[in-house]
Amino acid sequence: MFNIFFYIFLAMILTAGLINVFSGRVINSSISFVVLMASIFGLFVLLNAELFALLGLLALSIMFAMTLIFSKRGFVQEIAEDVNDTYPKGKQFAAVIVLSVLGGITASLVSSTNWQIISVNYAINSLGLIFSKYLIVIILISLLLSAILASLKYVLRKEMPTE
């Protein structure tokens, strides 16, 4: 059952990823992006990370709902229209060739490596240590969140009145 679901999600990821990259319309690309992220969260469920899959799906759905609700009418129309946003065909072909070669080399090297099994000492590594051993991580996340919130406030500021 694990293998069946893995290959189903793999097929969905490959299909949605290719549509996302090579689709001519941005709306098709956005819809395939949602399918792609849902398939990735399916892989998370297979890997015993159900909490993060659920949180990711919730955040994705809330983000899309907020975008559709609070954006102006013209913004959604701009996304839905046919937009020729691609670079010339020659550059696209060269980029596809280079990225395919690099991807093939990287994937073959990494996937053919015999990864060592790491033994984890659960007495030392536990989630209970998140406020002692991993306190620096919490502080860094707080700083990062504050920076992101400040940038969001800067982005969403009201426009200055112009004469």
Partner 1 sequence: MDAGINHFIFVSAVIFILGAYSAAGHKNILRVVMGIILMLTAPIINFAAFSGFRNFNPEGQIIIFITSGICILLLITGCLLAYNYFRHTGTIEIEGETDA
Q: Which of residues 96-155 bind partner 1 (CB under 8 A)?
A: 96, 99-100, 102-103, 106-107, 110-113, 115, 117-118, 120, 122, 125-127, 130, 134, 137, 141, 144-145, 148, 151-152, 155
Token readout for 106 is 């990287």
- Residue 5: how many other CB atoms lie within 10 Å: 13
* Residues 16-35, interacting with partner 1 (CB under 8 A): 17-18, 20-21, 26, 29-30, 33
User: What is residue 157's DSSP assignment?
Assistant: P
* Residues 46-75, interacting with partner 1 (CB under 8 A): 46-49, 52, 55-56, 59-60, 63, 67, 71-72, 74-75
93 contacts partner 1 (rule: CB under 8 A): no
Instruction: Please give the radius of gyration of the chain, using alpha carbons only, rounded to the nearest integer.
Output: 21
Q: Which is nearer to partner 1, 87 or 163 (CB)?
A: 87
Residue in this structure with the two tokens 């046919």, named with its chain if needed:
82
Indicate the angle between helix axes 26-46 and 50-70, nearest 10 degrees: 160
In the complex, minimum distance from the CB of residue 45 to partner 1, in angstroms, rounded to a whole number: 10
Binding-site member from 15, 28, 31, 79 for partner 1 (CB under 8 A) = 79
Q: Which is nearer to partner 1, 158 or 163 (CB)?
A: 158
Q: Which is nearer to partner 1, 113 or 163 (CB)?
A: 113
Q: What is the full DSSP assignment across 37-57? A: HHHHHHHHHHTT-HHHHHHHH
- Residue 39: how many other CB atoms lie within 10 Å: 19
